Every structure is written in structure tokens, then in C-alpha cells.
Amino acid sequence: VEINYEKKEVATLFFSSFNGSKEYRFVVSRTVLNSDKQELFDEEKYSYSSIMTNDLISSDLDIITFYNQRGDVSENYYHLWI
């Protein structure tokens, strides 16, 4: 998936609460970090992020886009109070 000109690998995990009354979804994404530096080992390094939601219908891309917009608004709101 490509989000904001950045390629991400995305996976979805489902979780039910311990008493089984509610079901949640984790949308987990990882991005390869800048690999321009020479490292001792040739393993790729990743940055991980996750979103927990009770939206079981929307696509992974829709959920990530929606929550990214919420974060942008929160950041702007924070600067209004400073």
C-alpha cells in the first residue's frame, strides 16, 4: 500500500475481548527505514505502527487514511492553544 508517497506493508489482526462480547481489529503497518547507511548486518530495519478500531468493514487503506487525518487535525488544534 502506498500512503503519502511512502510504501507500507499492511496486515490486519482481529481480537475478541476475553469475555467475547466485543471484537476489535488491529491494522498494523511497517515501513522500511532509510537503508542508505552501511550496517554491519544486511537486515532491513522497519518502523511499525498500529491502529486499534472496532470498524470491521472498512479496508486497511481507508482506516489508515482516516486516522492519519485525525492526527493532522489534533496537531493543528494543539498549536492553537500555544
| Predicted structure pTM score | 0.70
61: Cβ contacts below 8 Å, ≥ 6 apart: 1, 3, 10
pLDDT in tens, the chain (82 residues): 888 788 889 999 999 988 878 899 999 999 888 766 666 666 778 889 999 999 999 999 999 988 888 765 555 554 455 5
Nearest CA-CA partner of 63 in 31, 30, 27, 10: 27
